[in-house]
Chains A and B, each alone.
Chain A
């Protein structure tokens, strides 16, 4: 894990060495301090799944995971992520972690242009982990930080509630089996 050493000239704006674990792989890069995390992911690493909508933290299209928590990728600098763990929609998708959500989104037509979708999935994924018993109202509140201009949100909420219900049923079934056995 590298640490930022203040450069001999405090005010040098040129690229710094950073070491970031991205989707499970640790790698070294050079990046200018001014570059935010999503620009680094998209332009520096070709991970175009995260999108830029507003670049001031309100739309949620840039949502990625930093040290396991969702953050606005446009409000984190790549240099701030030095020595930390980043997971993007590509990583979550490839690992199968969001398969149920992805299938539910397709089933319920929860995406049209797809611009908000990666952010929505990141937020929904965290909901499933942190609040598996969420009701519809709580789902709506949870994803209120992600804007969608196409779907009108209902289909997205339907998809997430669908997965919550499935998991809840699976949980009960497993519990019942356990109780019987």
Chain B
């Protein structure tokens, strides 16, 4: 099916994007990578009057160091993150997750900001942002506000972002030598939506797990952390007993919902498998941070 007729603007400045958004409200749609939006339009599941293309807005691009954080411009593509040395060094979790996102052609256009704004429970970046305790920087005509990732995702395809706001960037804290990261995802075929996935970060203090963050993919109606299970792991050394306790906590905490291909029980079981793999990775000696291990 072909997309319905709409108008198109390609402003060069964020203020112009925001002005158009303010002026046209829900009749206008922001065009980032377009890998979700254009598919939606092709299927006529939405018929906006105007598309605001952000590809020429310089302020939204680029990966840079900002104090203790890595700043990821909203329009940075999945491929750019996959190939970035800054990311490899300072946020290796993102590099681990990137190859799981759809296929190359999608990754070459899809953007980090677009994925975060969409908040798909089966997407990689929202879970990574949660696992890294990142920040979403949102701009509107009145100014800027910073929203913690743990407060950002509120429901199915629902985020804290207001209708007149644009995500300008996300920030993640720089990895330190005591940080460990792990990413596991199960999909029926490469590039499919995750059946279950887990993005995790932790600090290792002399063999003890500290500040574990477990962010789940494809389990609920939004990206979410299993904070009770994280508490069970806090300050502990990995052992069979600890793993059993963590799996127990996970079973009661994670109310996995069935989807088209897997029952709730299957998802619960697979979540436990992911947790086990991830904990083993987190507890292993740190890999060299700039080893280029892409598929």
Task: Name A residues whose Cβ lies closer than 8 Å to a Cβ of B.
Answer: 3-4, 6-7, 9-13, 16, 32-34, 36, 39, 55-57, 60, 63, 66, 69-72, 74-77, 79-80, 82, 123, 126, 138, 141-142, 144-145
Contact = CB atoms under 8 A, between A and B. Distances in A.
B35 A80 contact: no
Nearest to B12: A3
Contacts of B11: 6
A4 B11 CA distance: 8
Contacts of A138: 295
B262 interface: no
A142 B6 CA distance: 35
A75 B295 CA distance: 24
Interface in B150-200: 189-191
Contacts, number: 119
Interface of B: 1-12, 16, 20, 23-24, 27, 31, 34-35, 38-39, 41-43, 49-51, 53, 55-56, 79, 102-106, 108-109, 189-191, 295
Contacts of B43: 55-56
Contacts of B190: 141, 144
Nearest to B5: A13
B106 A57 contact: yes
A36 B31 CA distance: 14
A126 B16 CA distance: 36
A80 B53 contact: yes
Nearest to B104: A70
12 contacts: A12-B7, A33-B8, A39-B2, A57-B38, A71-B109, A72-B109, A75-B106, A77-B51, A79-B53, A141-B190, A142-B104, A145-B106
Contacts of A77: 8, 34, 38, 51
A70 B191 CA distance: 16
Nearest to B7: A11
A145 B109 CA distance: 15
Contact of A7 (B7, B34, B49): B7
A178 B24 CA distance: 65
A6 B53 CA distance: 11
